[in-house]
Structure 1
Amino acid sequence: MALSSALLLLLVLHGADGSHIVRGRDSAPHSRPYMASLQVRGRLVCGGALIREDFVLTAAHCQIPVPFTVIVGADTLSGNESTKQEFRSIRSIPHPRYDGDRNDIMLLQLNGSAQLTEAVQLIPLRRQRLRPSSACLTAGWGDVGDNRTIATRLQEVNVTTLSQKACLRRWKLRKFTIDRTMVCGVGAENFQGFCSGDSGGPLVCAGAAAGVVSFSGRRCGDARTPDVYTRVSPFIEWIAEMLNSSRAD
């Protein structure tokens, strides 16, 4: 099935209500070896994280009707790096209760298994009780804040988590509900966070995937509408079930 340019553009821009790293910094080359780039026709659509050699964790809102090209082991998306490994997604598994906001989590099965190297590694999944003011990090190749410019190198930014109450207080005038499957985060400065193209990328806390980039407000990194991530912990059993069932296929 062909993917129209309009649909592709809509997906790329979802994160502005949703997902690139704004006012972040260049990641040290290959220092985030779990990062995956999800592309269509050579264009970045979403991010993700390698959780098994043949599976990537991303956001359900990233689902499209054609296979992704999945790149791991990359620092830049345009450079011809010897560390890059390229795959095709053969199966998308969005959470069955994804409703457009909640349960925004998805697994992508690849058409092969990544070779683990210094530049390609798995990110751990474990139950985490994220407390307010937890120090975390998110990364991606998305828009740098003007909805036109994709990052040339992997970007990252420090993220501090908020309590559910504090997040709800900031979002309340926008008639939005933050539930237990979500966690909010802000950068150290205003207008610092994720933006278009970073959807599906990981929120990394204590060295493990604690969240998945989901959505934010109209302006990237605006602390008045904190960035929202899907928490990984409530979905650990579902992820394990999907991974185990794939071995039996």
Structure 2
Amino acid sequence: MSRGSPDLVTAAAALFASILACECITGGNEAIAHSRPYMASLQFKKTDTFKHECGGFLVAEQWVMTAAHCVLQGGQGIRLVLGAHSLAESNDLKTHFTIAEVFRHPDFSINTYDNDIALLKLDRVAVLSDAVKTLEFQRDGGTNPQTDDVVSTAGWGAKNNLGSRPDKLQEVDVAVMLRTLCGRSDYYGKGFTDNMMCASARRKDTCDGDSGGPLVFKGVAVGITSNGGKKCGTARKPGLYTIISRFTQWIDGTMQQ
């Protein structure tokens, strides 16, 4: 086959398109504005501006749940935004908070991302509205999704492996994968623990910046977006999610503080 032949050009174009489209959050769609009023944007201060770095979700009027790896340095320099759809546009529905206290799970492992859950106590109680609402989370004894069940997640994370970020909230549906598959040595091996589930779909995944957002099943948060492969959408490194119901006792004890 000679260089520049139609077949080679077509193949190269398809490869480039797959990189740009990426098997990640862009496999979904822009969410309807404020259809997920529990979503929070964790924004870290960069010089004189704040930049979105992680997601979270409101579980009580003064509490946001997120991933522990999002707040390794505590809450200093973080602005938390509720009521957002567009991160850039100004509107009266957005509310900015500082974080009064950060509670990371004491057994969180940066090596395996096991126990990747944190609770953030806001500096004040959030005023609930059509754009700001709490999300119920799954408790111990509740029904978690099983293999092939469709779950959904959302975030302002990267749209592709080149790092492009959306301004408006994106959402995507994925399916829970077989646990024994995720625990295989060519997937996550021993790093896949009882506190995790993995979920994926063809050309659909969460990506950098979606961490901390909720995995939702039948209107209830069952997981927290945690980790995945170095590249979004890698077939054998699907998205990893912390199983919330495994931490009921820790959540209750923390939120009583």
Q: Which interval holds the TM-score relative to the shorter structure?
A: 0.7 to 0.9
| Contact 1:22–1:220 (CA under 8 A) maintained in structure 2 | no
Report the AA paired with residue 204 of structure 1.
Answer: V
Residue 125 (structure 1) shift = 1.4
Match of 2:62 among 33, 50, 54: 54
Match of 1:109 among 118, 121, 124: 121
The aligned residue for residue 86 of structure 1 is 96
Q: Which runs of 5+ in 1 are unaligned?
A: 1-19
- Alpha carbon RMSD of aligned pairs, Å? 1.5
The aligned residue for residue 142 of structure 1 is 157
Quote the Cα distance in structure 1 between the aligned partners of 2:148 and 2:93.
Answer: 35
SS at 1:112 equivalent: coil
Q: Identical aligned pairs, as a percentage?
A: 36
SS at 1:239 equivalent: helix
| Contact 1:37–1:47 (CA under 8 A) maintained in structure 2 | yes
The aligned residue for residue 135 of structure 2 is 123
SS at 1:22 equivalent: helix
Match of 1:182 among 184, 196, 205: 196
Match of 1:71 among 81, 91, 96: 81
Report the AA paired with residue 196 of structure 2.
Answer: M
Residue 67 (structure 1) shift = 4.0
| Contact 2:138–2:144 (CA under 8 A) maintained in structure 1 | no
Which whole-Å deviations, capped at 9, do the CAs of 1:3-56 have from their partners, x for residues lacking one? xxxxxxxxxxxxxxxxx7232210000000000000012101110000011110
The aligned residue for residue 231 of structure 2 is 219
Quote the Cα distance in structure 2 between the aligned partners of 1:84 and 1:161.
Answer: 33
> Is it true that 1:151 corresponds to 2:166 in the alignment?
yes
Report the AA paired with residue 81 of structure 2.
Answer: I
More relative contact order in 1 or in 2 (CA 8 Å, sep 6+)? Answer: 1
Equivalent residue pairs, number? 223
The aligned residue for residue 15 of structure 1 is none
Residue 213 (structure 1) shift = 0.6
> TM-score when scaled to structure 1?
0.85
The aligned residue for residue 168 of structure 1 is 183
> TM-score when scaled to structure 2?
0.83
Match of 2:210 among 198, 220, 228: 198
SS at 2:25 equivalent: coil
Quote the Cα distance in structure 2 between the aligned partners of 1:213 and 1:161.
Answer: 13
Which whole-Å deviations, capped at 9, do the CAs of 1:185-224 have from their partners, x for residues lacking one? 002x23x211111111110111111000111012102222
Quote the Cα distance in structure 2 between the aligned partners of 1:143 and 1:234.
Answer: 28
Question: Any runs of at least 4 consecutive aligned residues in structure 1 with deviations exceeding 3 A, and if so which?
Answer: 173-176
The aligned residue for residue 7 of structure 2 is none
Report the AA paired with residue 193 of structure 2.
Answer: D
SS at 1:172 equivalent: coil
> Is it true that 1:34 corresponds to 2:38 in the alignment?
yes
Quote the Cα distance in structure 2 between the aligned partners of 1:24 and 1:67.
Answer: 31
| Contact 1:167–1:178 (CA under 8 A) maintained in structure 2 | yes
SS at 1:108 equivalent: strand
| Contact 1:147–1:196 (CA under 8 A) maintained in structure 2 | no
Quote the Cα distance in structure 1 between the aligned partners of 2:163 and 2:231.
Answer: 14
